[in-house]
Structure 1
């Protein structure tokens, strides 16, 4: 290979290297811009996260209090539900007792009705007997 060809080859390599360097510098610049933009986005996200944490710290006591109230109300409701179930049981027992008493009362009414009817018959018989005695007394006089 002659000297001129070597020089041309070296010039071509130099040009290629310069082009590669220029592309690398462009890529580096683009990457730097992207990195800067990403850093800004990250900074904004960190700021938002910090604000959210601050807001959370501010509302955390209120949230905890609300949660405690909800738990208390839930327990209270559970206790009330238990009482309601007990009352329903008592009411069912009372209704059963009332039904039993009504049945007993109805039986007693029937018994008393029969007794009254029997006593009425005896009364009428006694009245008739008395009337008979009165008639005999009247005849004797």
Structure 2
């Protein structure tokens, strides 16, 4: 049974009964087609390779053609330049020919002049001999002058040495002057700083003076108050003296057991100190009397040196 291709197209999923011979023929045809396809592919690949090679040759040929065109243009340009040079050389050659004719005439004139000069040369030989003698004399004079010149140069060198020493001394002086100027500038800077400090201090002094004036006013006020207090103290002292005088009348006689008086001065019985080394204080242990509610104490002496009380 042969293959029903229409049925296969209508229902490709269904199976058909086919003879083995048909399948073998179909396989043979497929194999033949595959062989022909492989051959065709090989031929196509070879054709492509030949085509690429042909394209490469064509490109190289085009490049060679372009290079040939460029070389041709350069050759034309070079030939044009050579033609111009040939024209220039021909013009120069014509000028040279003209100059040769001129120079030939000048040579003839020079030959005639040369003959005249040969006659003059004989005369100049004699003059040359006389000139040689004069030159020898001049050379001797020159040697003498050179000797004098060397002496002058020696003196000049000595003077230059002295000048160099003077210049060195001047440079040292200038260096010292620069150092002094630097110190002077530093001193000026210090003076400026000091003046600035003085100005600031003067401002402070003015402030202090104003403050001192205020203090003076306050001191004068305190002195006034002190005078008032001194007046009050004098009054109190007068009252105290009056009270002491009144108490002396009632006071018991003082004991002179340990008090030693030398020439009207109190003397410490322990160390012998006198004068300012002895002070008088109240003896709080001995009450003499009362003025109102105020107790009146007896007096005693204390030595400042040894602390003895008597």
> Equivalences for 1:1-141 in 2 at 5 Å?
26-135=119-228, 138=231, 141=235
Shift of 1:85: 1.4
What do the CA deviations read for 1:18-72 (whole angstroms, capped 9, x no partner)? xx8xx95x54541222212321342243123112112023323311110101111
Instruction: Return the TM-score normalized by structure 2.
Output: 0.34
- Partner Cα separation in structure 2 for residue 67 and residue 133 of structure 1: 91
Paired position in structure 1 for 2:289: none
- Partner Cα separation in structure 2 for residue 40 and residue 107 of structure 1: 96
Aligned residue for 1:90, secondary structure, equals helix
114-123 vs 55-64, which moves further? 55-64
39-48 vs 49-58, which moves further? 39-48
94-103 vs 78-87, which moves further? 78-87
- Partner Cα separation in structure 2 for residue 27 and residue 69 of structure 1: 58
- Partner Cα separation in structure 2 for residue 75 and residue 137 of structure 1: 84
- Partner Cα separation in structure 2 for residue 109 and residue 118 of structure 1: 14
What is the RMSD of the two structures over their aligned residues, measured on CA atoms?
2.5
Per residue, is there more helix in 1 or in 2? 1
Structure 1 stretches lacking a partner, 5+ long:
1-19
- Partner Cα separation in structure 2 for residue 79 and residue 32 of structure 1: 66
- Partner Cα separation in structure 2 for residue 89 and residue 136 of structure 1: 66
Paired position in structure 2 for 1:5: none
Instruction: Return the TM-score normalized by structure 1.
Output: 0.69
Structure 2 stretches lacking a partner, 5+ long:
1-114, 236-310
- Partner Cα separation in structure 1 for residue 149 and residue 175 of structure 2: 37
| Cα distance change of structure 1 residues 129 and 28 upon mapping to structure 2, 3 Å threshold | closer
- Partner Cα separation in structure 1 for residue 221 and residue 134 of structure 2: 120
60-69 vs 38-47, which moves further? 38-47
Per residue, is there more strand in 1 or in 2? 2
Paired position in structure 2 for 1:15: none
Higher normalized contact order (CA 8 Å, seq sep 6+, divided by chain length)? 2
